[in-house]
Amino acid sequence: MHISSQGNIWFMSDVPEELIEYVFSIVHKIKFLPSLKKLGLKSDVTTSDENVIQSLIHAIRSHGYGKRFNPRIYQTLGFSLDEGKWIETISRLVRLGYLTEQFELVCPNCQETIEVYSSYRDIPLNEENKCSHCSHEFEVSEKNIFLTYSFNETFELDQDSKSRELQDNQIVLTRI
C-alpha cells in the first residue's frame, strides 16, 4: 500500500477486502491542519516560525492541554516565538473551525473557574457574582475573564508526519 502526497491510496498487490475496508475506515478519520502559509496570515511566516508553531501545537497536544489552553501556553511549555504570529495563527484556526475560543470567569479570591462562556456578550460584566467554590462575592470585571482555547475535536498529531512527504508541509491530525 502507498499513500501519495495528495492523499491517494494505492494498493500494490491483491489485498483482502476486509483490509481495504479497515484502511478506509481509518483514513476517513484523518484531518489535515493546513500549513501556516496556507492559513492566509497577514504577517510573513518564515520556515522557522512555521516549525516553532507546529512544534508548539504538537507540545500542546502531547502535554494534555488540547482541551484547554491560554494564548501564553508557549511560555509555560518553554517556547520562544513571535507572539503576534502565534496570536494570529490561533485566531485563524478559530475562524477555520479547528479551535474553539472560550471566556472563563475566574474567582479573584480562589482563582477557580466559575463559569465558561462561548461568547463575550454573555459574560455578566459589572454584575455581582458569588463563587461556588469559596463563596467570595465580587463584581464581575474584565480582569476576571480569561481567554482559553480548545481543539474542536479530539485530534492527535501523527508522530511520523515529518517522515511522510505531505503536500505543503501539512500536519496530520488523527481523531481518537
Pick out the chain residues at pLDDT < 50. Answer: 154-176
Question: 3-state class of 114 per DSSP?
Answer: strand
110 and 36 both lie in a single domain: no
Structural domain total, the chain? 2
pLDDT at 19: 76
Q: Phi and psi of 117, rounded to 5°?
A: -115, 140
168 and 147 both lie in a single domain: no
Q: How far is it, in rounded angstroms, from Cα 66 to Cα 93?
A: 13
51 and 78 both lie in a single domain: yes
Total-model pTM? 0.66
93 and 176 both lie in a single domain: yes
Q: CA neighbours within 13 Å on the CB side: how many for 137?
A: 2
pLDDT at 163: 37
pLDDT at 173: 43
89 and 70 both lie in a single domain: yes
- pLDDT of 46-95, one tens digit each? 888 888 888 898 888 888 888 899 999 999 999 999 898 899 989 988 88
Contact of 38 with 168, CB cutoff 8 Å: yes
Residue numbers of the domain that contains 115: 99-151
7 and 93 both lie in a single domain: yes
67 and 93 both lie in a single domain: yes
80 and 135 both lie in a single domain: no
Q: How far is it, in rounded angstroms, from Cα 35 to Cα 80?
A: 19
In the chain, how long is the greatest CA-to-CA distance? 70
